[in-house]
Amino acid sequence: MTAATAPAAALEVRDVVVRFGGHLALDRVSLTARPGEVTGLIGPNGAGKTTLFNVVTGLQAPQRGTVLLDGRDVTRLAPYRRARRGLARTFQRLELFGLLTVAENVELAASVRGRRRPGRSADEALELVGLRDLADVRADELPTGKARLVELARALATGPRVLLLDEPASGQSEAETEEFREVLLAVAGEGIAVVLVEHDVQLVMRTCSQVHVLDFGRVLAAGTPEEIRGNEAVIEAYLGAAPGVPA
Ligand SMILES: Nc1ncnc2c1ncn2[C@@H]1O[C@H](COP(=O)(O)OP(=O)(O)OP(=O)(O)O)[C@@H](O)[C@H]1O
Ligand SMILES: [Mg+2]
Q: Is 205 in the pocket of ligand 1 (CB under 6 A)?
A: no
CA of 115 to the centre of ligand 2 (A): 31
Each residue's pLDDT tens digit, 214-228: 999 999 999 999 999
Tell me which residues of the chain have a pLDDT lower than 70.
Answer: 1-7, 112-119, 241-247
pLDDT for res 203: 96
116 burial via Cβ count (<10 Å: 0-12, 13-18, 19+): exposed
Those residues whose beta carbon sits under 5 angstroms from the ion ligand 2 are 49-50, 92
pLDDT at 52: 98
Domain 11-95+159-239 has CATH 2.40.170.20: no
Residue extents of the structural domains in the chain: 11-95+159-239
Supply the angle between the helices 144-156 and 122-129 in degrees, to the nearest 10.
140
**How would you classify residue 86: left for phi > 0, otherwise alpha for psi between -120 and 50, otherwise beta?**
left
Question: Per the confidence metrics, is the pTM higher than 0.85?
Answer: yes
- For residue range 67-103, what is the model confidence (pLDDT) as tens digits? 999 999 999 999 999 998 999 999 888 788 999 999 9
Per-residue model confidence (pLDDT) at position 217: 97
Percent of the chain scored above 90 by pLDDT?
77
What pLDDT sits at residue 246?
52
Nearest CA to ligand 1 atom 2: 20
| CB of 60 closer than 6 angstroms to any ligand 1 atom | no
Question: Which residue has the least CA distance to atom 24 on ligand 1?
Answer: 45
- Is residue 25 within 6 Å of ligand 1 at its C-beta? yes
pLDDT value of residue 114: 56
Longest dimension (CA), the chain: 51
pLDDT of res. 239? 80
Of all atoms in ligand 1, which is nearest to the CA of residue 52? 18
Distance (angstroms) between ligand 2 centre and the Cα of 28 equals 18
User: What pLDDT is stored for residue 156 in this prediction?
Assistant: 93
